[in-house]
Structure 1
Amino acid sequence: MKVRRVFILAALLALFVGIIVAQGDSNGSGNGNGNTGPNNGNGNGNGNMGGNNGNGNGNGNMGGNNGNGNGNGNFGGNNGNGNGNGNGNGNGNGNGNGNNNNNSDGDDGNDEEENGQRQTRPSAPTRVPSGNYESLSPVPSSGQERGKCLGVGACLHKTLTCPSDCPQRKPKNNRKQKGCFIDCSNRCQATCKWRKPDCNEKGSICYDPRFVGGDGVMFYFHGSKGNNFAILSDQNLHINAHFIGNRPKGRTRDFTWVQALSLMFDTNTLLFAAKRVSHWDNNTNAIVVKWNRHSLSIPIDQWSTTSAGRQVLIERTMDVNTVRATVSGLVQMDIRVVPIGDKENRVHHYQLPSDNAFAHLEVTFRFFSLSKAVEGVLGKTYKEGYVSPVKRGVPMPIMGGEDKYRTPSLYSPFCKMCVFQRPSLASL
C-alpha cells in the first residue's frame, strides 16, 4: 500500500510540473509584466499563457482564470471581452461582451454568470450631439451614404453607413420615402426616419406644450398665452417660443401651444410661425418662414443661404406645412404646423372658439454643439449631470420656471437665466 501511495503521489507531482512547464512557454507582451510563476500576466499589451490568452490594458491573470483589461481576456474556453473586466471564473463584466463558454453579452453594464458578483456600474455617459459628423463618399456598389463621426464619445471616428432601405439622407422623393439619419450620439447608429417631427424623440415640443428633454424625461411647460419664453439659450444660439392659448371659464391657467419659434445666431434671426387659421385645410399652407424679418417663399425643393460662413438650409419635406431647417454647426429641426381638431378639443375640454383652429407648431430639435452653460426650458435638460425636478409617474409632470425664462418679445434674447449675446458686426 505504501509503495502504491508513493507511486500515485509521484505521478501527480510529475503531472503538475508538466502543466507549469507547458504554461511557462507562454508570452507576456506589453508595457507591463508577464509572470508565469503564479500564472499571472499583467501588462498594457498582451499576456499570453500557452493556449490561454489575456489581452488588455489591464491585467491577465492565469491563476484562477481571471482576465481583466480594457481589451480582451481569453482563457481556454472562457472568453471575457470588454472595456471592463472579463473574469474566467464565470463572470464577464464590462462595456462590451463577457462570454464564458456560455454566451452573455453586456451593454454599458455588468453581466452576471456563475459567481453572482457585480461590478460597480459606470457613471452615465456624456451626452453627445447626434448630428456631428463628416460626410464621406457613398458606397460605390450601392450608393449608400456614409458619415464619419466627430466630437467626443463612444462613436468618435467611427464610420456609419446608411441602411439599404434608406440609402440617402435626403431621398429624391422625400415626401414618400424615409431618409437616413446618422446618429453620432452614444447610440452610434444609422437608421431610417421620416423627415418630420417625432413627438416622442428627445428635443421635441408638441401638443399643450409637451416637451421631451435632452435627458429623455417628458414634462409639460404651460407658460402663458401671449407671452414669449426662452426655449434654449447658449453662447452661440438662442431660441424663443411664442405661446398662444385659451382659458375656459372657471380655469386657473391657460391651455397653451407654441405658435412661433425665433432662432437667433450670429447677427441673424430665423423665424417659423403658424398662421392664424379659422378652418383647417390639409392642402393649404399655413407655415410662415422669415429670414432676418423678411418673409421667405420656400421653393418646392429647398432654400439656402450662407452668412458669416454658416449655411442655413430649409427643405420642404411634405408638400405643405412641414419643413426641415438646418443651421450648420448649431441645430437641425423638423417643423410641422398642425391644428386642434374637433375631437381633441372635445376630449380635452379646451372650449376653443369655432372661428380659430389654433394652428401651432410641432418640432423636434437636434443640437450639434451645446456648451456647458446652456440654459432654457429645454436647453437646461442637455446639461451634463442634469437631474429633472419634475415628478415622475404622473400623467402630466409640470416644469416651472416661467419667471426665469420669460423674454420681453419673440426677438429678444434677454431673460433672467439667458446667456446668449449678439456679436457685433465688427467681430464677424
Structure 2
Amino acid sequence: MVRLGACFLVLFFLVVLTEAASPEAESSKKAKCKVEKYKHCYNSEHVCPKVCPGGDCVVDCKSCKPICKCDIPGAVCQDPRFIGGDGITFYFHGKKDREFCLVSDSNLHINAHFIGRRNQNMKRDFTWIQSIGVLFDSHRLYVGAQKTVTWDNSIDRLALTFDGEPIFLPHGEGSKWQSKIAPSVSITRSGNTNGIIIEVSGNFKITATVVPITEEESRVHNYGITKEDCFAHLELGFKFYSLSEDVNGVLGQTYKRDYTSRVNVSAAMPVMGGVREFSSTGLFSADCSVARFGQGGLSASHEYANMECGSGFNGNGIVCKK
C-alpha cells in the first residue's frame, strides 16, 4: 500500500511538471486594465482565455474580465472576420492582391490590401489583410506586415510610413512616435515588437498587430500555407470618435444608426458581399463606389461621446449599441 501511494505521488508530480513545461502553459498571455477611472480594476492583471486567436486579449475594465481582442466590435481578424459597430459578426473575403474600402467618411478613409491563397475546392480565395492605407485631413498613413518565411515574434515585421516618410519606432512596449507636423498623430508600441496603437485626437484609434498563419491553423482550415511564406498579416481594432451619418465601407456602414445588417446572421459563416461596391484601385485611392472622403457630412460624435460602453472603452467606435 505504501509503494502504491508513492507511485501515485510520483505520477502526480510528473503530470504537474509536464503541464508547467508545456508550450501552451508557457505561451499564456496576460492583459491589464489601463483605464484609471475603474479603480476596482485598474492595473490588475488577467490571463487571456485560451480560446483567443493568438492568445491576445484586452481587459473589460467595467466587468474586470479579459475579452479576446477579436471579439470586440470594430475588430478585424483572421479570414477577415469583422465585428461591426452594431455588434454583428460577419466575414468579408474580398479577393487576394486587391484593395477594398473598409471605412469612408468625410475626413477619414481606410483601405485594406488583401493577400491570400486560392483553394481549388472553393469558389473564393482564403484572404487576410496585409496592410492598410489611412487618409485623413491631408495626411497618408501606411501600416503593413512584411513578408516573412519563418515567424519569430522577437523580430519586428511592421512597416510604417507617414506622408511617405518611414517611421522608425524603437523596440519595447510603450515606445512612442509623435508627428512633428501633425502633433495629434501618435503611434505607441503595445508590445516589444509587432504591435502598435495609432491615435489621431478627435478622429480615430487603431490597434494593429502582425501575426502569422501557423502550421496548426493551416492544417485545420486547409489553407495550404508552405514554408516559403507564413502569410504574416494584420489583426486590427478600430475606434472612431467623429463618424458622420453618411459613413460607408465594409466596416464603416455598420456604424450608421439606421443600418440593417446585410448578412444572414443565422448562417455558420455570415458573409458580406460587395466586392465591386467596396473595391478600390489602390491603397490610397478613395475611389470605391461608396467613397465619402472629402465630402461634407453631419458628425454624429456629439450623440455618442459620453456613452458608457460595455467593453470598458469609451466612444462610439468600440461597443456602443444603437
Mapped partners of 1:305, 1:294: distance in 2 = 11
One-letter identity of the residue aligned with 1:365? F
Tell whether 2:135 aligns with 1:264: yes
More strand by share: 1
Cα pair 1:197 1:334 within 8 Å, conserved = no
Deviation at 1:336, TM superposition (A): 0.6
Mapped partners of 1:342, 1:259: distance in 2 = 18
Cα pair 1:230 1:415 within 8 Å, conserved = yes
Mapped partners of 2:238, 2:68: distance in 1 = 9
Counterpart of 1:120 in structure 2 is: none
Alignment of 1:220-259 (within 5 A): 220-259=91-130
Counterpart of 1:316 in structure 2 is: 189
Cα pair 2:119 2:223 within 8 Å, conserved = yes
Mapped partners of 1:422, 1:268: distance in 2 = 16
Mapped partners of 1:332, 1:376: distance in 2 = 17
2:81 to 210, 214, 238: 210
Tell whether 2:39 aligns with 1:163: yes
| Residue segments in structure 2 that go unaligned for 5+ positions in a row | 1-33, 45-56, 297-322
Cα pair 1:287 1:321 within 8 Å, conserved = yes
Counterpart of 2:234 in structure 1 is: 361
Cα pair 2:58 2:68 within 8 Å, conserved = no
1:199 is paired with a residue whose SS is helix
* Distance change in 2, residues 1:179/1:163 (3 Å): farther
Deviation at 1:422, TM superposition (A): 8.6
2:222 to 349, 354, 367: 349
Counterpart of 1:303 in structure 2 is: 177
One-letter identity of the residue aligned with 2:200? V
Cα pair 1:197 1:362 within 8 Å, conserved = no
Alignment of 1:26-45 (within 5 A): none
Count of residues paired in the alignment: 248
**Could you list the per-position Cα deviations for residues 343-365 of structure 1 after superposition, in whole angstroms to 9, with x for gaps in the alignment?**
10011011123200000000110
Mapped partners of 2:40, 2:212: distance in 1 = 35
2:179 is paired with a residue whose SS is strand
Counterpart of 2:212 in structure 1 is: 339
Counterpart of 1:290 in structure 2 is: 161
Mapped partners of 1:315, 1:364: distance in 2 = 14
Cα pair 1:166 1:180 within 8 Å, conserved = no
2:69 is paired with a residue whose SS is coil
Please, what TM-score do these two structures have when normalized by structure 1?
0.54
Deviation at 1:250, TM superposition (A): 3.7
* Distance change in 2, residues 1:387/1:179 (3 Å): closer
Cα pair 1:228 1:409 within 8 Å, conserved = yes
**Could you list the per-position Cα deviations for residues 183-234 of structure 1 after superposition, in whole angstroms to 9, with x for gaps in the alignment?**
xxxxxx856688x981010011000000000000000000000000010000
2:209 is paired with a residue whose SS is strand
Counterpart of 2:30 in structure 1 is: none
Mapped partners of 2:287, 2:68: distance in 1 = 28
**Could you list the per-position Cα deviations for residues 151-186 of structure 1 after superposition, in whole angstroms to 9, with x for gaps in the alignment?**
xxxxxxxxxx23243269xxxxxxxxx9888xxxxx
Mapped partners of 1:265, 1:193: distance in 2 = 34
Mapped partners of 1:361, 1:263: distance in 2 = 14
**Could you list the per-position Cα deviations for residues 215-266 of structure 1 after superposition, in whole angstroms to 9, with x for gaps in the alignment?**
0000000000000001000001000000000003343211000000111101
Deviation at 1:294, TM superposition (A): 1.5
1:264 is paired with a residue whose SS is strand
One-letter identity of the residue aligned with 1:294? E
Mapped partners of 2:95, 2:35: distance in 1 = 44
Q: Per chain length, whose mean CA-contact separation is higher, i.e. which structure has more relative contact order (CA < 8 Å, sep 6+)?
A: 2
**Could you list the per-position Cα deviations for residues 107-154 of structure 1 after superposition, in whole angstroms to 9, with x for gaps in the alignment?**
xxxxxxxxxxxxxxxxxxxxxxxxxxxxxxxxxxxxx976xxxxxxxx
1:389 to 262, 273, 282: 262
2:70 is paired with a residue whose SS is coil
Please, what TM-score do these two structures have when normalized by structure 2?
0.72
More helix by share: 2
Mapped partners of 2:232, 2:288: distance in 1 = 27
Deviation at 1:421, TM superposition (A): 2.2
CA-atom RMSD in angstroms? 2.5
Counterpart of 1:50 in structure 2 is: none
> Which of 1 and 2 has greater Rg?
1
Alignment of 1:137-216 (within 5 A): 161-166=37-42, 190=62, 198-216=69-87
